Chains A and B, each alone.
Chain A
Amino acid sequence: MVSKTEETQLNRLENQVDNGGGGAWEYLCLVRKLKVRRSEKVLKHGLSILNDPKKRSALGPEEWTLYEQVAIAAMDCQCLDVAKDCIKVLMKKFPESKRVGRLNGMLLEAKGSWAEAEKAYSSLLEDSPLDQVIHKRRISMAKAQGNISEAIELLNKYLEIFMADHEAWRELAELHVSLQMYKQAAFCYEELILSQPTVPLYHLAYADVLYTLGGLENLQTAQKYYASTIDLTGGKNTRALFGICLCTSAIAQVSKGRNKEDKESPELQSLAATALEKDYKQRAADKLDLLTRALRSLKN
């Protein structure tokens, strides 16, 4: 995840380069380091450097990394001829390279020839079965073709080996949610919470999934995780506040008729409601009416 300082730095460089000031190369390096997806800008500025022979020779050996970056950005923007040219240059320089082979596979993917791309990737995998990027490309190919269950299967196999890759767990969680396999998604989110316990995003997503699953125990756990999200974000996360209100009312509905278990934090719901109202008053005063009505209906 990109930190705030990095983000401001990136935006500053972007503005500078867009308005004609220099610094295109630093911008491209920063984009590459942070792995941000700004393909149009990368394409525009990268090409401006590559097409100018003086600037190109000033780069030295970094020129080839720039070719790779521009090729990927071109594929993202569907400028396939630009991508093909860049890859041709790279192939001439590095004829037996696996990295260039990977780019070729990506080009086939971008063109839409799935079968050939699959063949290219499998042959690359035979040579180096531990290449993470190629595995991920295969998974994203399956996903792009709409074959989500196969994507899930491939991703599971990938995670059996590379189980410390938390981005892969996140992808798997989202795939499960898209197929409504909530129990499995909950497991993935637990993995994410384990690897990065202080990121509120994962607590929130986990709580959402638990709330969707339903059932008294899940609802109570969901409430706790909404609370932890509130704690981690200092009370500013609107979704978590709503989550608390919804959870409390859902729990009340489910346990209607059973003996009420002593609620550990009865104030939480009223506090959340008040915080929500305050927030709405500040930021969207015209919707405050809707909010109060909704909250009132929840309480009943």
Chain B
Amino acid sequence: MAEDLVLDTAIRDWVLIPLSVVMVLIGILRYFVSKLMRSFQTPDPKIVKEGHFLFCRQVIVRARNLRAAANFITPKSFRSRRVYFSNEENGLLFVPKGQAQNLQAQMFSDPNMAMDMMKKNLSMIIPQTLTFAWVNFFFSGFVAAKIPFPLTQRFRSMLQNGIDLSTVDVSYVSSRSWYFLNLFGLRGLFSLILGEENATDDTQRMMQMSGFGFDPSKSLSAEKDGLDIVQHEWALPKFEHRAEAVLKKLVS
């Protein structure tokens, strides 16, 4: 049933553009508020944690170097280093099972950390919720825009929420979908206006949050497994032959 609905230009003037403008303004406001909040926050005495992370990162770099260049050192030294790293009792990369879980639990129970995460969450969720409610209240019950490509019927419930007619083509969407489009699309605009670091990058922040707690123990055990697999094949004898060839060419 592809009828061509003619949409009033007033919709464009009074719905689409104001909605985008409002979202941009809210994003800018959020950025400044987060900057203010960050400047109020005194640097937490999380130095011990930071020291531990730094140490883990250095261990990982060293273990990675060992894996990459293992064939350049003598078999004996490689083996002694491998033991040093993956030793069951006090190897650097060895993280006992209990401790791995602990780290995560510790993260969440530490009051400072929890406050931090909550604050970040709030600054993300509240504006989103408010704007969504506002859109729903004011801009529902009519068709806002037409998507240029055809869609299947499954998208009807997602995109046509306020519109109670079931015969309207799915390409005609309500303003809620315009809101979501702006939510994800304005990220690029914000990085242009506000510079690289802006608090509006929600998806990035969500990824960061999940990666933060696991960083040390998971990568340490990953490195340990990688190191255990390595087969040492001493490359130096090959170099002797290569040197011979080089010298032969030089001398002749």
Contacts and interface: CB of A to CB of B under 8 A. Distances in A.
B240 A264 contact: yes
B243 A194 contact: no
A48 B58 CA distance: 42
Given A130-B50, A161-B51, A163-B59, A231 B65 contact: no
A272 B73 contact: no
A60 interface: no
Contacts of B2: none
B239 A224 contact: yes
Interface in A115-153: 128-130
Contacts of B68: 194, 197
User: Which of the four size classes fits the interface of chain B?
Assistant: 20 to 34
A271 interface: yes
Chain B binding surface SS class: helix
A203 to B, nearest CB: 8
B69 to A, nearest CB: 4
A271 B72 contact: no
A265 B242 CA distance: 11
Nearest to B249: A235
Interface of A: 128-130, 161-165, 187, 190, 193-195, 197, 221, 223-225, 227-228, 230-231, 234-235, 264-265, 267-268, 271-272, 274-275, 278
Contacts of A264: 237, 240
B239 A194 contact: no
Contacts of A224: 236-237, 239-240
B55 interface: yes
Given A130-B50, A194-B65, A197-B69, A230 B247 contact: yes
Contacts of B239: 224, 227-228, 231
Chain A binding surface SS class: helix
A239 to B, nearest CB: 14
Interface of B: 47, 50-51, 54-55, 57-59, 61-62, 65-66, 68-70, 72-74, 77, 236-237, 239-244, 246-251
A129 B72 contact: no
B130 to A, nearest CB: 39
28 contacts: A161-B51, A162-B54, A162-B58, A164-B58, A165-B58, A190-B77, A194-B73, A197-B69, A223-B240, A224-B237, A224-B240, A227-B243, A228-B239, A230-B246, A231-B242, A234-B250, A235-B243, A235-B249, A264-B237, A264-B240, A267-B244, A267-B248, A268-B240, A268-B243, A268-B247, A271-B248, A275-B251, A278-B251
A228 B58 contact: no
Contacts of B66: 194
Given A190-B77, A271-B247, A274-B251, 7 more contacts: A130-B54, A164-B57, A194-B72, A265-B244, A267-B244, A268-B247, A271-B251
Contacts of A161: 51, 54-55, 58
